[in-house]
């Protein structure tokens, strides 16, 4: 074992001071905590290690668990009021990196978290089922409530979840188009906050089941 006396970073470069150095010919393993991943995959995902005047050839890094393509498109950017509450069909185009399995009890999740102030639109006044929504891949439609089920979370109406309850899974590398209805905030924002789209391998939506997670640029809210 080797003792790391100090560790400091400057951008993508990490420098460690190792007490008494390293022995030639021995294999070492080290871990760096709290590394911040980039928002988008790097064009050149090569890493290198240098030590005592020696350097390794560039080697391939790890694949980010994030959508490789994404875009959020609102129908309207107008604020709502008591006298004018027009739903906003929001379109999310995304290409997942990880597959999401399907099944009545073991199917995974897709969650879409809007900034505070947005509210997912429900069907009627009872329950949290989403109003009309669509999920397509190419020309194929996921049948609502048969292959995918949409719910607005109770107590967090800015969060909408999609459960894959049928036999059709979310496949890695394919381009999907999701349309879901939200009510815009009542306040005006000149700069849009990001939305978060994430997938999970099972219905729990827990950290242990997390797959892809992506911050998608949002849109401003106008008067």
The tokens 């949290």 sit on which residue?
A: 128
pLDDT for the residue 12: 84
d(CA 72, CA 196): 11
For 86-139, how does the pLDDT look when each residue is reduced to its tens digit (9 = 90+)?
999 999 999 999 999 999 888 999 999 999 999 999 987 666 899 999 999 999
* Percent of all residues in the chain with a pLDDT value above 70, rounded to a whole number: 94
| pTM of full prediction above 0.85 | no
Closest by Cα among 36, 64, 81 to 183: 81
A 10 A CB-CB count for 170 gives 26
Rounded distance between C-alpha atoms, residue 22 and residue 177, angstroms? 52
The 10 Å CB-count burial string (b at 16+, else e) for 45-59 is eeeeeeeeeeeeeee
Q: What is the pLDDT of residues 150-181, one digit of tens each?
A: 999 989 999 999 999 999 999 999 999 999 99
Asked if the model's pLDDT at residue 64 lies above 80, the reply is: no
What's the pLDDT tens digit per position in 21-42? 888 888 888 877 656 666 666 6
pLDDT digits (tens, 9 = 90+) for 66-98: 898 999 999 999 999 988 889 999 999 999 999
- HEC readout, 5-22: EEEEEECCEEEEEEECCC
How high is the pLDDT of residue 20? 84
List the one residue out of 91, 115, 119, 120 whose CA is nearest residue 193.
Answer: 115
* Residue 219 DSSP code: -
Residue 211: which H helix or E strand, with range?
Answer: strand 210-216
- Rounded to an integer, what distance in angstroms lies between the CA atom of residue 191 and that of residue 7? 37
């Amino acid at each position: 074992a080797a003792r790391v006396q100090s560790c400091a970073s400057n951008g993508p470069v990490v420098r460690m001071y190792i007490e008494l150095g390293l022995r030639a010919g021995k294999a070492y393993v080290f871990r760096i905590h709290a590394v911040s991943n980039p928002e988008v995959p790097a064009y050149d995902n090569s890493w290198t290690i240098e030590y005592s005047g020696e350097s390794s050839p560039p080697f391939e890094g790890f694949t980010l668990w994030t959508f490789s393509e994404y875009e959020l498109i609102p129908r309207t950017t107008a604020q709502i009021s008591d006298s004018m509450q027009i739903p906003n069909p929001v379109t999310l185009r995304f290409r997942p990196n990880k597959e999401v399995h399907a099944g009545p009890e073991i199917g995974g999740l897709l969650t879409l978290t809007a900034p505070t102030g947005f509210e997912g639109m429900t069907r009627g006044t009872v329950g949290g089922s989403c109003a009309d929504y669509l999920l397509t891949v190419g020309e194929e439609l996921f049948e609502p409530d048969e292959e995918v089920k949409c719910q607005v979370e109770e107590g967090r109406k800015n969060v909408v979840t999609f459960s894959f309850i049928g036999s059709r899974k979310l496949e890695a590398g394919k381009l999907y188009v999701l349309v879901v209805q939200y009510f815009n905030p009542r306040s005006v924002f000149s700069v849009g906050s990001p939305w978060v789209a994430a997938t999970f391998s099972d219905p729990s939506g827990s950290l242990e089941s997390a797959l892809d997670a992506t911050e998608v640029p949002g849109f401003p809210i106008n008067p």
